[in-house]
Each structure stands twice: as structure tokens, then as C-alpha cells.
Structure 1
């Protein structure tokens, strides 16, 4: 085993059941062990929370090992891997339990939750069951449904682990019965003794070195894990203090330079540009075969997580590596970005309106938006959450609107273009006040649950608000008569309006009435509000927005591929200001037209026509091409790849057809030209 692998695997994430467990988490494991061995008929909730890279997922893995070792069933869901709707959550849980999933047309949210409760009861044989939800802070408005509806359908004896960056919101503690059910498990950096124990397991026993490493990292597990495998581990500690974020970035850059070999480093950098990855996807991004041994070497690192869609780099590491690549090699970064876009474009087309379409949409929109959306959305991690308006937060929403009206002012939103130039968008106080004057909290709350959504920052404060109305038969009368929406919906042809008026609770689309944040120049707030908006964009087929017409709102709508409606406008903001409507129609096969239009707007059409030839081939076909480039005969190809000559000829025929060549000579010329056009890919 290499030094790299020994360091990365030795202590941060223990694998063998006879080892002593995670270093520095003994208190948490003792509490969890006590829960496992103490029968209870009541629901028990364990809230694990701490900052990124602190080891929450590793702790959940240890909890899972302890649970299974005790003979208790265990299931874990990661909120990054399903869209945040009750139906997707329940179906993901049922699939993890190998239980049948009810047909969506026949099963409402309550029926799905009851099906989950029955499946858990069956799996546990009426005994204990442990359900863990990782990255809980990203559940958004699903959180309220889980708390108020889902848990009421669960059998006795359930232990629910909610793991995320933040402690549970006050609503979880509002009622005394809930307060007694919740066990708080905040986890932080390793203390000095835990850091020493960790380093001893890694073979670092010198006390001065231990002290220097602890001082440098303050016991942050992920930083420590990377640092000890680089030359930085042997440097004397500087006397000056170092910013924690800057230290982590420095460690990541050093690790990339020193630890992986060049080929593995290239694979890791490509994986950092992708949201999720597998071997086949990386081969398409890099336009060359990725040897299985190199891929397995990369995914052996403890900071790479196995998920049902492939593998996932730790988000802090992914951001740091992607940022470093973007700064050092912008052309290569942009080329990888475009190939990711094409990959998810094709995937979206194949899966349109299927089980996984909402996740594919999120991936697609992450890559497809133009420079404005990329700039706002570039930082992938933002501390925020979303929740629907309800009795428990109504007063907060009213205070938010009142405070916004009192403090509204002219604002400037700077936008840095990729060519280094800068554009500024101006938002006037008057425009903000006109938007705030149209907010209708009470009537939209009465219209339907979820029509108003509140955005909270990492400190739990309301920092934004979105009014977004589902389009169906129940809401159509309101849309036809209410300010901002009435002009558009009355102008619709009768047939289209009838098509959109689907039976509730179904929806044909959304009308985006208001998107407001406390400070438009705060990109954390903008990121949170746009993330909420984007999560609705392609989940249904028809989106209508009625922004007041300031440059930021128009840029957002245009960036998302919405078309400005020229036939009708509204004067509802003040009776004078003419505001446009923006529309996106992705119903049925229209989604393909939308996708292609967005690909072209980003420059992806050129990438598709001129992308590296090998990216169109399967992994086995690329292995054949690689050996053809080396001058191998069919017989030698068959021997190298353990294939028959007939199979080799079939592969070559498929390659010739896909790359539009007629001979080995033409194939070699085409691939050579492509390699020359994209050196270092």
C-alpha cells in the first residue's frame, strides 16, 4: 500500500469492524450505542450537525456499521441524490428497502408515507429501525412535510438520524413531546488528543510534528487527511495565523501537485468539474479511455463517496480543485464544462419525464445556464434553506416585508465576465418598492400550500421570499383575475388555457409572481433564491414569470432560456410601468427544442460538432481505437482485449460508423487531428 493510501484510509474513515472506530467521536458513538441497546416505543431523532469536512458522513457510516452489527435494519438516504419532493423521497426510501413503489397516479403523499411506514415495520419485524438522512440541510421545503406528515406514518421504535451542517430549526423543538425526542450531536474539529491519536495511527509519533499539524489545521479532519500526505506535514509551523479557508485551499493545491501521479491528477480534476461521475462519464469528458486501475485508485480515497448514481467528491474538495483548475487552465476547464453540459443534455433527452428527470434537470441547468447564471451559481455550497409559508413563520414573513420596505435602496450588482471585463446591473429603490407592494402573503397562503416560500440564510434569518403559483384547475380562476398574472392568462388561446388547467393537486407548470431578496448584491442570497427557482423550472412543463423589468430579473429569465412575450404586457405594478412576461414551454417533446437552444446559446453546438472523437464511443470502442493508433492488427487487438477477431471487427465497424470514416487510415487521421486540436485532454 502506498503512503498516500495509508494516510488517506488509516484513521479518518475506519473500515474493519474490529478497529476502534472513528478517532475523536467516542462520545457520539457511546450515545448512539445506548440508543441501540435501549428499547423504546417512541420516535427518537438524532441530530448530527457540523461544518463541511468535519466527518459527518464518516460518522453516519460508523453508525450504520454499529446498527447492522446489532442486528437492526439500517437505511441511509443522501438528499443530494433525489429531488426534494415527498414522492421522490418516499420512492427513494422504498427502493432502498426493496419494497414496491405505488403508482404515482394512484398514490398521494399520505399513501406514499404510509407505504414507507409499512415497509419499515416489515423490515424491522415491529422492532427497532434506523433511518439516516445525510445532507439534511439541502432538503428545503421537504423538511416541513417530513416533520409534520411523514413521521406521523412511521412505526414505533424508529431512530431517525438527521445529519447536516446546521442544527434543527426551532420548529422541531416547539412542542414539548418533540423536544424530548431529539438528541443533539454537534461535532467539531478534533481536539489535540484526538488529533494526536489520529496521527499516531498514521505513523506520525513525533510530538513536535503532532503539535505543528494540529496548530496548522486546528484538527479539521479533511484538511488533516490531505495535509499529512504532502510535504507540508514536515514544515515548521509559522508563527502567524492562517485563515482556515486559505489554509484548506493551499493544502489542496499542494496535495494535487505532490500525491497523485499526473494521470490520476488529470482524472481527479475532471471529476471535480462533474457533479457526479463514473468511469464511463470521465472517459467522455476526457475523450480517452480511463484505465480501470487508475479509476479504482482514485475512488479508493476516503474523500470520495459511493452513491447510487456513481461517485461523489467531497464538496469542499470539489470546489477547491475546480477553482484551482479554472484559474490555472481556463481553456481546459471550459472544455470539460461544455462536455459535462453535452453529457447531461443527452441524458436529459433520454430520461425526459422519467423517474430521474428532476435530478437530470438540476444537472443540466447547472451546466447549461449562460455566464450570468454561472457567475451567481458558481459557488456550489451556500448556507441557506427554504420553507413554505405557514402559521409558524407567518409573523417572520410579515416582518421581512416590512423591513424590506423600510430599508429598500438603490443597489448595484457587479458581474465579472469570463474575459475579465465587468458589467454592473442597477436595481432602484423604486423598483424594489413596487415589487414589495405586490406581495400577497395571506391570499396566496389561502390559495394553496407552498405558493409562498421563505428563504433563510445560514443564521436562520429570513433573507428572501418567492411567490410561485402552481398552474392547475384550482388556481386558474385566481391567475385569470389577480394582478400580474391576469393579462397573460386572459390572452391565452382557450385551448392552451384548457390544457394548462389540469386537475389539482397536479400541475402543468408554475407562475413565478415574485422573487425578492433582502440584498441583491449578496450572492449568497441570490444563489439561494435562484436555486429554489431552478428546482421548479423543468419539474413541470410550463413556466411563466412576470418580473418588473429591472436588468437583473431580465438577465435571470434570459439566462434560463425563457422567451419574452411580445404580444402582451401588464401595467399592474403601478398603472404606468409596462412589464413584460417571460415564458418557457418544455411540455412533451418541446423539452428537446429547449435543450438544443440552450446548448447553442452556451457554445455547446460547436463543442458537439468539434468535440474529441473518442467521446462518442463506448469504453470498449475507445480501447480498440487506442490500440489501432498503436498499429495493432486485428489479431493483436483480439489477444490484448481477450476478444474474438469477429468481435473486434464488429467494434471497428461501429467505430467507423460513429466517426464517419471508412478505413483505419481515415480513423488514425481523424483521431490524430482531434488530439492535436485538444492537447492535454
Structure 2
């Protein structure tokens, strides 16, 4: 960066921050619309997110833009304001009646969670008397609650802007700004930070050192960040409770009691829920992802036996709930939790990202089928090439997939098929955004006599169902189940949509059912089914996706005792043991090929294998070809499928 002759340190700091600012394009645009009166009925903007999520940087960038447009701007740090008298003094520095080009001004309160005793005076006395031309931005760790959400005047005056984590693309952009271009290092940044801005910044400092693995969480830098978060948790008992909560994907009072093997009192549980980084989820409560991962890995490094004991207890707890589900509870919710504790890195990568969803499911009817048709038209018009990266912290694995524009449109049903699906009683569900737009859909056919003719004639299902004998069909429809025709989302690279599509798959996994699917023959779709426990059906393929794209069928049989066998296999799934028992395949692999095969089973990319073994990617590909030849498979998916069958 060029240093100007009269540049101050403040100027340089501002320029550096601007040059490293990534992501948040949507949020910046929203704040610009907000202060330009697009949201004139909500003059208070609450930017909220946990510590280190970039609230201050975002607002300061937005205020810089507002200043350039002629707005009068004033900022206050609530950490430096102890009481009402100090607040009054600070507010006198801001000329409330000053005029500018727009006749508007913006007042920014940062770190509002530190407001303490003067918050009530600020809300009930000061705010009502200021001119309506003044817009107020409040940055806080948690969203404004209590009277802010109860009293009508404030409920309708506050616009909530919750900051999401940065995407993999954002992280790659940030890394390149710091001259980090190696794919291996960018992936590790993604795994360590999970899109948390402060963790990303700290990780970048360590990326080229030998410390850049899970041990970075033991460095003084990260321990300082952890200590900052844990200021809210001063006593030892609460910290132990928080550690247990961080082991779980989601928690409630009963789960924590089971995990700790001692009663968690209502008072202790209420204190836990008051922490600013604890959030309400679809199935209980959870700790914000980045903070949870940091505490979780710190516990694993400091006390591995205690961590493993927590994991085992969690898996056993969920097993009992899955075998004896409470009345009215959907099995897939418990299944999602037990999958999180199995150690399967690909499942954790797909499903750990979020425990809450901003999307809802709406059933399609004959009256609303036109909405699905409109979505399909839009989906085809806006299709593009997709690059998908997902990973998880415990093993540090990143999984990469690619779907071309043409591939993403294969299998989408036409209008005639949609009508037929409704006629036979298929379940068609729309994945809806908060604004009412459709983000995806699913179509699944029940294994009933009413649907048999469709299943026997449809190009995506006939190869399987037309071959069933009358006896086989009788037993199949007698116990029930589903043929998953399609689960589609508008953008597979969107982490929250991937989570929701995975959750839709789980919703069909019910006791005493047979679930059958024949997805697009791409690793992204096939890997998910194989790692969920589906088995590839031998010698049956369909050509619904095109002549050059034979697609296999996968089935998960949970009828009778096989349901308990499935659950037991999940609970006893041990990643390390599964990966290292390659001798059970009876193949004569060399020492180097065995290492690569172990990495392959862990989900390593070719580039990551090369970096770990200090060889070229071309060498890795040669070893993979030899492994596939010796194991009599054609590709990675077939190798994984064969390993799963043998295990």
C-alpha cells in the first residue's frame, strides 16, 4: 500500500480495514437502503451477532459510505459509558438539531450489551425526544429483546440485522488478499474459522506455520479470544455446563442432565440460556457455531477422555430416544443428533452447519402447483455451475463437489408429471424463504397400490419396481416406505439450503419403512446416501437422466430387526477403526496406497492428499488408479460403496 505524505495512522488503519473487508455485500446494501429511508418506518437498526462476527467493521464501513453521501455521523462505544450522567455528557457531543445536505443524521451505539443500567433511560426517555430525522444503529451481541420486542412502539421501529457467517468464497477472497493462494491452506482456513471473521483473521496469521492444525486453538492468540467470550461465564460449574452444551449439536435440560450424569437445575439452565452466544434452535438451544467449535476443540485438546466420554454418552442417549421415541416426536430430529455423534466426517460436514433454519416446508396442492411450476421455470433460467465445499472441525476434512449447469437441471419434473404425482398421493413439499420465495422442493412417492403404476412406468423408478414379483411388492407396500423421486434446492453451494435438503432426506427415514432413491449419478448426491447407510442395489440402473448417465438405485431397509441393526451400527460407527481396517478388503495395497486409501475414506481431496504426503497431485492420481484397479472399482464413489458393504 502506498503511504501518502500527510497520511495519519487513523487513515492508514481505515485504508487497511477497507482493503481486507470481504463479504457483507448484502448487509452493506441493506444498511444503505435503511439510512436512505427505504425502511423509513424502522428508524432503529439492530446489527447483532456474537463477539468477533464483524459488527463494528460492517457498521463503520457503512457509516463511511453514509458520510460520503453527506450524512452527519456520530459513534458511541457503550463500554466507556458507566451511567446515565456519562451517557448524557456523551450525547451532548452530538448536535441533534444540526442540518446537513440530507437533513439527516446517524447515531451509532457500539457494544450495546454493555449498556447496563442506563438502557432503560435511553429507551424510555432519550429516544422518544430526538428528531425523527436521526437514524439510530445499535450493535449488540444478541438481538434487542425484552421491552424492545414486547412494546409495540419499539417492536415496529426496530429492524433486526443478524450477521451470518462468511462463506467459503468469502474466505478464499480474504486469503488471497493476504497472499495465501494454496488450496490446502484456504481449506484449512475454512475448517478452522467456519466463516467466523475474528477466528478467520487470527487463523490467517498462523496459516503458514507448523501450528496450522487443530492445535491452533491451544495458542495464546486463540486462548485470549476464548477468554474474552468466557467473561460471561465466571464460575467453574457454569463453564462445565457450557462445555457439555458445546459437545451437543443442540441441547435442552434433559440432555445436559444425561450427559453430566447429574441434575442440571432450572436455575443453572436459565443462566446458561442468558449467555449472549446461546441461541434458540428448531429443536432446543445451541451455542453459536464458531464459539461452540472453539470450546469443543479446546475441551478435546485439554481433556480428551472427558470429551470422548461425553460423545459416547450422547450417542447412547440418542440411541435410547430413537429406539423408544416419545409420542409425537419426529424420528429424524433424533436421527440428526445421533448422526452428529457418530464421527462420520461427511455427515457432520453436511449436517452440523446449522440447527436452525429460516426456511419452512409447505405442502403442494392442486391449487398451489402453479407456484412449483414457476419455481422450476426460474430454476432452469438461472441455473449455473456450482462449486460446493463443506467441512468439519473434529477431523479437519473438507469435501469438494462440482455440479455443472446442465447437470443441475437433470431430473426436474415437467408439468404433466407434477399433476400425476399429486393424483397418486405423492408428497410434494416446497422449501419456502421468509419472504415467500421458493428455495427448493421435494417429491416423494409412497409405496402404495395407488402409486404402483407410476412407479412401474416412470423412467426414474421403473427399472427397480417393474422387476418386483407380486410377493415382493406385497411385502413392500404392506410395511410401507417411500421412493424419493427428487430433492432439489436452487443453490447447492448455499450451506443453509444444503442443511435443509439433508434434513428433508432424514425426514423419510422412519422405523419399519423401506426408503429407495435413484439420484443424479454425481458424488455429491451419492456420497450423502451411502454415508447415511443406504446400500447400492446390485445390477439395477435407470437412464432417466440420459443415455450416457446410468443411475444406480440405493435403498435403506428399516423393516423389523433391521431398524435396530441400523441404529446400532450408527452408535458403534468409529471413524478411525473404519478407515484403518482396509485389510478386510483382501487387496494387496502397497504401504503408500494404503495411506492414500485411508485418506480417501476420510474424504481428503487429491490436493490435500498430495500436501499430506509431500507428493504431486499427478502421483496421487496414479496411486488412486492402482487402488481402483486392485479393488475392482471404477471411481471414488464405487470404492466407498464397496467399503461400506464390507464393513
TM, length-normalised to structure 2: 0.51
Conserved? CA contact 1:386–1:456, under 8 Å: yes
Conserved? CA contact 2:283–2:355, under 8 Å: no
Whole-angstrom CA distance in 2 between matches of 1:562 and 1:247: 37
Conserved? CA contact 1:217–1:224, under 8 Å: no
State the match for 1:261 in structure 2: 235
Whole-angstrom CA distance in 2 between matches of 1:312 and 1:605: 33
**SS at 1:468's partner residue?**
strand
Post-superposition offset of 1:388: 1.7
Conserved? CA contact 2:391–2:397, under 8 Å: yes
State the match for 2:462 in structure 1: 486
1:563 and 1:51, CA in 2 relative to 1: closer, same or farther beyond 3 A?
farther
Whole-angstrom CA distance in 2 between matches of 1:433 and 1:356: 35
1:409 and 1:589, CA in 2 relative to 1: closer, same or farther beyond 3 A?
same
Whole-angstrom CA distance in 2 between matches of 1:342 and 1:322: 21
State whether structure 2 residue 117 is matched by structure 1 residue 199.
yes
Among 395, 398, 414, the residue aligned to 2:373: 398
State the match for 2:320 in structure 1: 346
Among 345, 350, 354, the residue aligned to 1:376: 350
State whether structure 2 residue 368 is matched by structure 1 residue 408.
no
Conserved? CA contact 1:272–1:313, under 8 Å: no
State whether structure 2 residue 440 is matched by structure 1 residue 445.
no
**SS at 1:566's partner residue?**
strand
Whole-angstrom CA distance in 2 between matches of 1:360 and 1:244: 26
1:490 and 1:442, CA in 2 relative to 1: closer, same or farther beyond 3 A?
same
Once the two structures are superposed, residues 423-460 of structure 1 have per-residue CA deviations (whole angstroms, 9 ceiling, x without a partner) of 32121333223222678322112222x52221123432
Conserved? CA contact 2:357–2:500, under 8 Å: yes
Segments of 5+ residues of structure 1 without an aligned counterpart are: 1-49, 55-190, 226-240, 306-310, 607-681
Whole-angstrom CA distance in 2 between matches of 1:516 and 1:254: 41
Among 423, 427, 452, the residue aligned to 2:399: 423
Conserved? CA contact 1:549–1:580, under 8 Å: yes
State whether structure 2 residue 301 is matched by structure 1 residue 301.
no
Once the two structures are superposed, residues 333-352 of structure 1 have per-residue CA deviations (whole angstroms, 9 ceiling, x without a partner) of 67634532232123323449
Among 508, 511, 523, the residue aligned to 1:551: 523
State the match for 2:296 in structure 1: 326
Whole-angstrom CA distance in 1 between matches of 2:383 and 2:119: 56
Conserved? CA contact 1:390–1:445, under 8 Å: yes
Post-superposition offset of 1:417: 5.2
Whole-angstrom CA distance in 2 between matches of 1:269 and 1:220: 24
Whole-angstrom CA distance in 1 between matches of 2:46 and 2:567: 36
Among 404, 407, 410, the residue aligned to 1:434: 410
State the match for 1:469 in structure 2: 445
Once the two structures are superposed, residues 483-522 of structure 1 have per-residue CA deviations (whole angstroms, 9 ceiling, x without a partner) of 21111112234323102224xxxx7111001122111111
Whole-angstrom CA distance in 2 between matches of 1:272 and 1:313: 15
State the match for 1:573 in structure 2: 545
Post-superposition offset of 1:375: 1.4
Higher relative contact order (CA 8 A, sep 6+): 1
Once the two structures are superposed, residues 160-184 of structure 1 have per-residue CA deviations (whole angstroms, 9 ceiling, x without a partner) of xxxxxxxxxxxxxxxxxxxxxxxxx
Post-superposition offset of 1:248: 12
Whole-angstrom CA distance in 2 between matches of 1:340 and 1:285: 6
Q: Structure 2 matches for 1:49-198, cutoff 5 A?
A: none
**SS at 1:381's partner residue?**
coil
Range moving further from structure 2, 530-539 or 416-425? 416-425
Post-superposition offset of 1:559: 1.9
TM, length-normalised to structure 1: 0.48
Whole-angstrom CA distance in 1 between matches of 2:145 and 2:312: 30
- Across the two proteins, how many residue pairs are aligned to each other? 386
**SS at 1:445's partner residue?**
helix
1:393 and 1:459, CA in 2 relative to 1: closer, same or farther beyond 3 A?
same
1:594 and 1:510, CA in 2 relative to 1: closer, same or farther beyond 3 A?
same
Conserved? CA contact 1:369–1:559, under 8 Å: no
State the match for 2:170 in structure 1: none
Conserved? CA contact 1:269–1:325, under 8 Å: yes
1:478 and 1:540, CA in 2 relative to 1: closer, same or farther beyond 3 A?
farther
State whether structure 2 residue 430 is matched by structure 1 residue 454.
yes
Conserved? CA contact 1:467–1:513, under 8 Å: yes
Whole-angstrom CA distance in 2 between matches of 1:461 and 1:416: 28
1:431 and 1:204, CA in 2 relative to 1: closer, same or farther beyond 3 A?
closer
**SS at 1:581's partner residue?**
strand
1:415 and 1:362, CA in 2 relative to 1: closer, same or farther beyond 3 A?
closer
State the match for 1:522 in structure 2: 494
Whole-angstrom CA distance in 1 between matches of 2:549 and 2:496: 30
Once the two structures are superposed, residues 531-577 of structure 1 have per-residue CA deviations (whole angstroms, 9 ceiling, x without a partner) of 12211212651100011211111011012111111131112222342
**SS at 2:411's partner residue?**
helix
Aligned CA RMSD, in angstroms, stands at: 4.7
Conserved? CA contact 2:447–2:477, under 8 Å: yes
Conserved? CA contact 1:438–1:573, under 8 Å: no
Whole-angstrom CA distance in 2 between matches of 1:242 and 1:534: 28
Segments of 5+ residues of structure 2 without an aligned counterpart are: 1-44, 50-108, 127-135, 149-160, 166-195, 200-223, 276-280, 579-647
Conserved? CA contact 2:48–2:140, under 8 Å: no
State whether structure 2 residue 565 is matched by structure 1 residue 589.
no
